């Protein structure tokens, strides 16, 4: 019986293992050092990346905001026309747009937080560099060196000023930026008639309804995401539990197991800022938006109640 076939091939197993180890080592070894002292260039790159993301998301927000304003104009027009069906459609469209606007504002707030962190890290390095240059200027220098250092100093100070101005524009962290989201706040005018006050109360009621829609939408999304997380957890547990003791079909390679199921991002968000967040961050994000919408709804309802009280107490 023929038990063997001619032919032989080398197996560069040791080489592959060693190469993977070396490359992993290269990744591991310098990284802590880099993490301790990121270079000026790296921090500039991180800052510019964060600024690009922020500008991009801000642009999306401005677009969403414009569309929400247009939808509100449609509501006003439908109300003026007295067309109940059209008004209902316009309201539905407005609620959708208002939701998108607020969601996108949340994304902007998150990117603003990241940009702020990157900017502060860069300013730290620029401050250190400024001190170093000033220290060097105190030494005896040739006129050429002094000019070069003064030019360096000028560039550093200009850059710090630019970043400071950007920080003023960007504001604080995520929560602070969410606070800045404008809520309709109608002021009482001494010339307001009871009809004016009732109209203001109605506008605020509509705004409360818009927040209600946002809250419902967020609660649906939170429930969906929690469900997806639960499913992904159950699937990971199943695969891990039966694979742990080699009870699972591993495929052609010892280590192969089915990939962990990750909760999906909403396809509608696939090209938006939410796609960048992992499921836990998405959950945190939706909860923050919902909580903010709850606060805003309470605020406008309180205002509406105030206007109604004033309308009843004001001579017509």
Partner 1 sequence: MTREAIAFVRQAACWTAVAVTGLLGVPATAEAQFTVRDFVVTAGGSAEGYRGNLPTVGSPVTDSAEVVSAFAGELALRTNADYRSGSGGTFLFSFDGGVRQFNASGFEQRDYSPREWVGTLDLGYGRALSETVGFRAHTRIRGRELEDRPPMPLFLQPGYRAVEGSLVVDFDGPRGVVYDVELTGAKTDFFAPAFAPQVRLLDREGVEIEAGAVIASGASTLRIFAGVQASRYPKQETFAPEDPFRSDRTFQGGVSWTRQAGYLLQIELDARANRSNSLRPEYDAFTLRALYSTSLPRELSLSLYGAYSVKQYLHASEFARLLPGEEADNASLAYVSLSRSLAMNLDGTFRVGWTRAETEIGDAYFQRFGGSFALHYRPSF
Instruction: Determine phi and psi for 310, rounding to 5 degrees.
Output: -65, -40
Q: Tokens standing for 34?
A: 């880099």
User: CB of 220: closest distance to partner 1 in angstroms?
Assistant: 12
Look up residue 186 and give its DSSP letter: P
Helix (H, G, I), strand (E, B) or coil at 253: coil
Min dist CB 103 to partner 1, Å, is 19
Rounded distance, CA 72 to CA 13, Å? Answer: 66
How far is Cα of residue 126 from the mean position of the Cα atoms in its chain? 27
- CB-count exposure of residue 98 (10 Å: 0-12, 13-18, 19+): buried
Task: For the CB of residue 276, give the shortest distance to partner 1 in the complex, in Å.
Answer: 12
Residue 101 beta carbon to partner 1: minimum distance, rounded to whole angstroms: 24
Q: In Å, what is the CA distance from 86 to each residue of 53, 68, 207?
A: 38, 17, 18
Half-sphere exposure of 218 (CA within 13 A, CB side): 25
Q: Is 251 left (phi over 0), alpha (psi -120 to 50) or beta?
A: left
By beta-carbon proximity to partner 1, the closer residue of 16 and 193 is 16
Smallest separation (angstroms) from partner 1 to the CB of 88: 29
């Amino acid at each position: 019986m023929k038990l063997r076939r001619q032919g032989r091939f080398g197996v560069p197993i040791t080489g592959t293992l060693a190469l993977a180890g070396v490359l992993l080592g290269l990744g591991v070894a310098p990284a802590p050092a880099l993490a301790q002292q990121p270079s000026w260039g790296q921090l500039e790159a991180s800052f510019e990346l964060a600024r690009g993301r922020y500008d991009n998301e801000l642009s999306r927000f401005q677009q969403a905001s414009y569309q929400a304003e247009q939808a509100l104009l449609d509501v006003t027009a439908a109300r003026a026309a007295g067309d109940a069906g059209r008004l209902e459609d316009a309201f539905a469209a407005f609620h959708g747009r208002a939701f998108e606007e607020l969601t996108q504002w949340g994304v902007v707030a998150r990117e603003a937080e990241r940009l702020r962190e990157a900017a502060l890290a860069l300013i730290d390095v620029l401050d250190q560099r400024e001190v170093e240059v000033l220290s060097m200027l105190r030494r005896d220098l040739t006129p050429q060196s002094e000019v070069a250092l003064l030019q360096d100093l000028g560039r550093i100070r200009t850059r710090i000023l630019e970043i400071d101005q950007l920080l003023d524009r960007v504001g604080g962290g995520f929560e602070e930026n969410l606070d800045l989201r404008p809520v309709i706040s109608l002021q009482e005018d001494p010339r307001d008639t009871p009809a004016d006050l009732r109209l203001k109360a109605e506008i605020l009621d509509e705004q409360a309804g818009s927040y209600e829609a946002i809250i419902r939408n967020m609660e649906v999304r939170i429930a969906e995401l929690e469900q997806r997380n639960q499913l992904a957890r159950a699937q990971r547990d199943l695969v891990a539990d039966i694979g742990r003791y080699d009870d699972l079909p591993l495929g052609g390679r010892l280590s192969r197991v089915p990939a962990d199921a990750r909760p999906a991002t909403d396809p509608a968000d696939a090209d938006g800022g939410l796609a960048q967040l992992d499921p836990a961050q998405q959950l945190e994000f939706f909860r923050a938006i919902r909580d903010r919408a709850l606060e805003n709804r309470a605020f406008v309802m309180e205002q509406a109640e105030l206007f109604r009280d004033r309308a009843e107490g004001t001579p017509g």
